[in-house]
Structure 1
Amino acid sequence: MSQSNEESNSDSKSVKEIKKDGSFNRQKNRFITPFGEKEGELPVEAGRYRLLWSAVCPWAHRSVIVRKVLGLEDVISLGTASLLRPNLPHVDWEFSLDPGGVDPVLGIQYLSEVYKNADVDYNGRPTVPAIVDLIEGKVVNNDYFKLTNYFETVWAPFHKKNAPDLYPDPLREEIDALNDVIFHEVNNGVYKCGFAQSQQAYEQAYDALFARLDELEDRLSKQRYLFGDFITDSDVRFYATLIRFDVAYFSAFKTNRNRIIDFPNLWGYLCDLYQTPGFGDTTDFHAIKVHYYLSNHLSSDDQKGHNSILPKGPDLSGLLSKHNRQVLSQSEGKFLVK
């Protein structure tokens, strides 16, 4: 089943995210109204929306990467939640990084406030990324699976001059198909490992994850990026997991067959992306480590405790080393310009 069907059609009721067999079942997105010009769609207007994220979250990180690469920073404002979960009876995000402990634009302390503004009966986890309509003060879209595609397409009138084409029309069907695979087996695959509460569920997710990483390692031995010479939406999504892998998932989520640095092509590819504007400069390793080792991720019913020890490693200086990935490309640039 594709992610768009499995993850995006939901009511607002609470979902227990650990199934009877011990496997992790990520809650569905609640607010999925698309951006566009058709009746019932969210209007595309500069200055109307605020993107809420946390630097720790891979689902939100990819939206921030695309926002920066396309030059939408002055069009859609950005609010940043804390790297640690607040000590509350429910899972939430807090704006404790801002003066006074509230988002300076929305005036909220907790992300759940704008979710409740949108649906007073909302009982799921309030998630990032969340797009908030500043006129109404409520979440209007939290569809992390499609949000980057909206930024890449219907938000095009606000792209910077010579903005890259991350979602080229001739490749969209192929990009969507690969994104679906990467979601199930890699992006969400690491969470299926980390949150599994049965040995069988863990091992199934682990095997699927590394089988896919092996396949992508081979794919990237022949070309610079997932679709050849230029960065696409698929690379953004893959990067958000790879960059967290050695620093967090390998240990915290027991995805410990190999580190990414142990894959020659995946590591070179990751270095290439990390050194690209919009990628490394939006990556906060300290925040990632603190969150994955010290925060609660699920409800108290689903969550098993951490030991509150923050690891000192790993050494990530190699991300700035020469990668020579350009020899696999026919082009001197990293992006396909429209």
Structure 2
Amino acid sequence: MVDLAQKSNDSRNARIGRLLSRYGIVLAFVILFVALSLAHPNFLSTGNITNVLRQVSINGILAVGMTFVILSGGIDLSIGSILAFAGIVAGMLVTGADPGNPFLAVAAAIGVGALFGAVNGVLVARFKVTAFVATLGMLSMARGATLLLSDGRPVPNLSPDFRWLGQGFVAGIPVPVICFALVFVLAWIVLRFTIYGRWIYAVGGNVRSARTSGIPTRSVTFSAYAIMGALAGFAGAILTARTTSALPQAGLGYELDAIAAVVIGGTSLVGGVGSVVFTLVGVLIIGVIGNGLDLLGVSSYYQQIVKGAIIVAAVLIDRSRHAQS
């Protein structure tokens, strides 16, 4: 009888452990949300919540793309520079006395972003360059190309139609939030319900086994970086529209925020394990922490320390989870 009771307790503890391992990040977000609601009276105001959602939309779009890359077993450090270059391209197309079509500008930003991402994909998939090295090099090259294209100066006087992408509202919802929601839903469908999504997980889980199973591993790896680049370009266009001018220094450090959101969301840095749904939770946690600390008057210097500590903690949890599996 005692053995049966002990086994029952062990089984219950194991179930609780699995639930915490899977949904602990959601619980952490709820606790954080409640704590900040109690700490500052304005946190739950409609204006502040709208502001939080608008602020996280850029990082959210980048984090969705980063989820594809990390799930496939890679990493991309160049997205901040790609975002800046794409923003300059979009800005140059919608400025001046006769500004161009804003949709064409957005398409151009996505296109140049995808091109940079494709170069990363070729380096990693075809030439077997380590993802860290390839994208670190691209970070520098894309930033240099941005400064050359803009001559180191902002591109102001963007057309009102283009600025609507970053500043407009639809039914009271900021347009950047709608863009992020559409990107998130599309990514969730692709990763959850398509063959390509299963290929991404398979390549990140074990590239040799995936190749043996007939999966075109090079193409999958290449496409993950191209998707990341395209989303960085899209985010660059939105950020440019939101700030009302294209800035050559835009996107500095954005790659760290995107990686942090993905890792906090539980996606394994070794690939093959994770979910874009939990990436969304990671994005919201980073946004809520930043907003809450701003409301509480905490210096941005301390915010950087907090963010770094969260990333380290998330990586340690990920390594611990793999050690137990």
- More helix by proportion, 1 or 2? 2
Question: Who wins on radius of gyration, i.e. which is larger?
Answer: 2
Normalising by the smaller structure, the TM-score range is under 0.3
